[in-house]
Structure 1
């Protein structure tokens, strides 16, 4: 019987994960839902979260505390933008705390959270909602398939 496949770059991985904030609030969890399927390196998971998975095998469980710079990064003041109220159209009234999807010049979408608003401007934070947080990252590896594009079967 061959050894179970370790998680390597480009492996397919089926897993459950949860991410909890410093106060124990669970921000994301798949444990009561369908498991997540990812290809390592496809951008689904933050690089720091992927690093925590390398070497694990199906059946492994792990809980790690990650600093902001290991997880979703530190908060960046440059990602907080003052936008003219006119950018939102007259029929849309943004509210504090609201998450809004914005079309970027390159065609991608970016989510921003409304921090504050006044007559003329809306302050929008484009930082990832988990940026600046120390997180507890818990994973349960369900299945690992060999790296994509590796025809040797090893």
Structure 2
């Protein structure tokens, strides 16, 4: 059973770390329980799943992931300016504050305040990791057919 490669329709148990090129860790499971996910269940962005394809239990790898395969390039159109009065009066608005908006489909859309000047509040809807090359370290612990009882 240990020879099953990662592919669509498999459940993978793995450790991963996502780091900036500087080595600063963004997220990791190496210091806690491994992650378990089904390929195609959208727990992991598709581009990251692509790096796992074909790996088997016991395999370890480290990948450099360019922005277009990670969280995309920064898009200047994703930075929008609002008026201060469009927010509730008691809301703290300062650079770095994350605000959740609802988009046209009522999906949650997080934005980060990037600038506050007078009555203008600039909000950046780019993914915080957009435009960054990331290091994706992965160690596959187990691969099994999806849908099996554990």
**TM-score (normalised: structure 1):** 0.87
Question: Equivalent residue for 1:83?
Answer: 82
Does the CA-based 8 Å contact 1:8-1:147 persist in structure 2?
A: no
Q: Residues of 1 paired with 2:106 and 2:76: CA distance?
A: 23
Residue in 2 aligned with 1:101? 100
Rounded Cα–Cα distance in structure 2 between residues aligned with 1:86 and 1:35: 45
C-alpha RMSD of matched pairs (Å): 1.7
Which position in structure 2 is the counterpart of 1:140? 139
Q: Distance in 1 between matches of 2:92 and 2:71?
A: 29
User: How far apart are 1:3 and its partner, in Å?
Assistant: 5.4
Whole-Å separation in 1 of the counterparts to 2:121 and 2:61: 41
Corresponding position of 1:131: 130
Trace 1:46-125 onto structure 2 (pairs within 5 A): 46-125=45-124
Unaligned runs of 5+ residues in structure 1 are 150-154
Q: How many residues align?
A: 148
- Runs of 4+ in structure 1 deviating by more than 3 angstroms, as ranges, are none
* Residue in structure 2 matched with residue 152 of structure 1 by the alignment: none
